[in-house]
Structures are given as C-alpha cells and as structure tokens.
Amino acid sequence: MELLFLVLFSLHILKTEAVVGGHWCYQSQKYEQPHCEDPRQWHLAVTTCKGNKQSPINIVTRNVVYDKSLKPLDFEGYDVKGSSKWNIENNGHTVKVTLSTSPKIGGGGLGRKYKAIEFHLHWGVQGVQQYLPGSEHSIDGEKQAMELHVVHIREDVSGITEAKKNADGVAVLAFFIKIEEENKNYATLINELENIKYKGQRAQMEPLPLSSLLPPEEDLGRYYRYKGSLTTPDCHEGVIWTVFEKPIELSISQISQFSTVHFDGKNSTYMVENFRPVQFLNERKVYWSSASTLLPTAKVLMLLLMLTYILSSLFQ
C-alpha cells in the first residue's frame, strides 16, 4: 500500500512539474516541437500569462489619451561607451545583450529613475516576395519588421527578481525597426550573430554607446505609454511601457541576419517569428506624449483669424 502511495505521489509531482515548468515556445517552433506550449497556451505553464494587463498591444491612435506630463525622457549615460564588453547570448528565444554599464532614464512621467540592464529583439521571417513583419506592438494594426526592447529596472533594486516585487519595478523602452538603408551602427552586433547560432551560446562584443542603436534623441519626444507585462513567460505584470513612434532603420540584409540563428542546437528550427501576438487592452488606457500634441483645431483657427486681422490692418 505504501509503495502504491509513493508511486501515485511521484506521478502527481511529475504532472505538477509538467504543468508549472512546461516548455514554452513560439508558434514557429510547433512543427519541430509539437508538444511545446505556444503563446495561446502559455497560461498553462504560467498562470500570470492570463492576466488582464498583458503585453504587447495594438495601439489605436484615435483612442489614446493626451497626457501633458509625458515630456521627453532624460537619457543619462546613453551616449557613453563603457570599457567592459557586453555579453551577447542566444537564450533559445531571442538574441539578448546584457549591458556592462547602467545607463539610466528618468522624467517623461516615470516618477523615478530606471537603469538599463539588457536589450533584446523580436523579428519576423523572410517571405517569398517580402519580409513578413515581426514586431510585437502595432499601431493601428500596422506592424514593422522588428522590435527592440531595452529593459530597465528601478535604480534602487539589485536585479530583475527584486524589481518584480514592485508595481513599478520594470520599465521597457520599445522601438520599432523598419526596412530602410543599412545602419552601420548595428554592424558590431550583427557580426556577433555568427558566434551565437545555437541555444546557450554566448559571446562578448565591443560595447557601444546605447544611443547609437536608437533614433536621434531629438526624435524621441513622440511616444505612447501604458501599463503592461513582460512579453515572455512569466508574463510579469508591473511593466511601464514606452513605445516610440520614430523607428530604427536597418537594411533588409541586416534584418535577415537575425534569422540565421537557431531556437535550439544544430539542425533545429531557425529562430523566426519570435513574437507574442497582441493581447486585449481590457480597461487600460494608452497615453500619448505631449511632444506629439498638435495644436487643437480651435487654436489653429484663432491664429488664422488673428493673422488675417493683422495683415488686413497693415494694408489699410
């Protein structure tokens, strides 16, 4: 009887571990790994992935709310090239770069400063005649080729685990990447992809000023802000998202290089379409930065009337 109990208990433990620690994947991995849990099933592995403040989202511009507190962000140390190398790795889901310095952001309605700890990317796949977009967020239903996420945590915490204990512990800057001309600032990063082709591989790369990978700072006053989650399990809610309007530009050749790495070991599926589909907004609001605000129609009309009056007075 005791032996039977131990067997049943062991089976229960194994079943529980399978549910809690189930292997999550992207839809593009299902052919090779039919039993992995794709984005529609992530909540089976981690229940928080079924929360009501999930990311990414589709931003509907006609529904955004103007917030005058959303001034341009303050970027500290973003233009500094550190002396220590960056660690770049293939973690089986994306290309992730861990920073050796801690550039900071503040202002922009954040309420406190946040330090950057890493960045990673999401991308699509080369189609027959065009590149199929792979950004996670979309604006009015339109996606771009890729998306860059720069992950920050509160400056007063030691790491991401501690940051998650706070409702405002994590802040992510999201940048769309569109197909344009070659961007020489990305050459160092893209050249390292050859060294991290397979899951678990790591390399070191020369550090760069983080700002060199982003659009010019003067173009970063236009953005959207909302409260959401991480876009991979554990789908932790408590993330302040800033999604910038101005995209980064890379060539189609540069973008395609990211699809040469693999989800797993040799002969495994190429890492493509590693994005989570958009989630329901539910009761949340998306806010629009003050730098994006145009003059209201009434003010424009008033200015036109005043200009007309002044001009007519001059020619009387």
Regarding beta strands 138-139 and 237-250, do their DSSP bridges make them parallel or antiparallel, or are they unpaired?
Answer: unpaired
Q: List phi, psi (to 5°) of 101.
A: -115, 175
Domain ranges of the chain: 51-293
Regarding beta strands 58-59 and 138-139, do their DSSP bridges make them parallel or antiparallel, or are they unpaired?
Answer: parallel
Average pLDDT on 221-249 reads 98
pLDDT at 244 over 90: yes
CB 19 within 8 A of CB 242: no
Rounded to whole angstroms, the Cα distance separating 203 from 90 reads: 9
DSSP 8-state secondary structure symbol assigned to residue 72: P
For the chain, where are the alpha helices, taking DSSP H only?
Answer: 2-20, 42-45, 160-163, 187-191, 252-257, 297-314
**CATH pick for 51-293 out of 3.40.50.12160, 3.10.200.10, 3.20.20.10, 3.90.1570.30:** 3.10.200.10
pLDDT for 160-208, tens place per residue?
Answer: 999 999 999 999 999 999 999 999 999 999 999 999 999 999 999 999 9
Provide the 3-class DSSP secondary structure of residue 192: helix
Marked catalytic residue, from 93, 120, 149, 262: 93
Handedness of CA 220, 243, 253, 190 (dihedral sign): positive
pLDDT at 212 over 70: yes
pLDDT band at 214 (very low <50, low <70, confident <90, very high): very high
Average pLDDT on 127-140 reads 94
Share of the chain above pLDDT 70, in %: 85
Catalytic site residue 93? Answer: yes
Q: Which two tokens stand for residue 34?
A: 């039919």
pLDDT for 248-302, tens place per residue?
Answer: 999 999 999 999 999 999 999 999 999 999 999 999 999 999 754 444 444 445 5
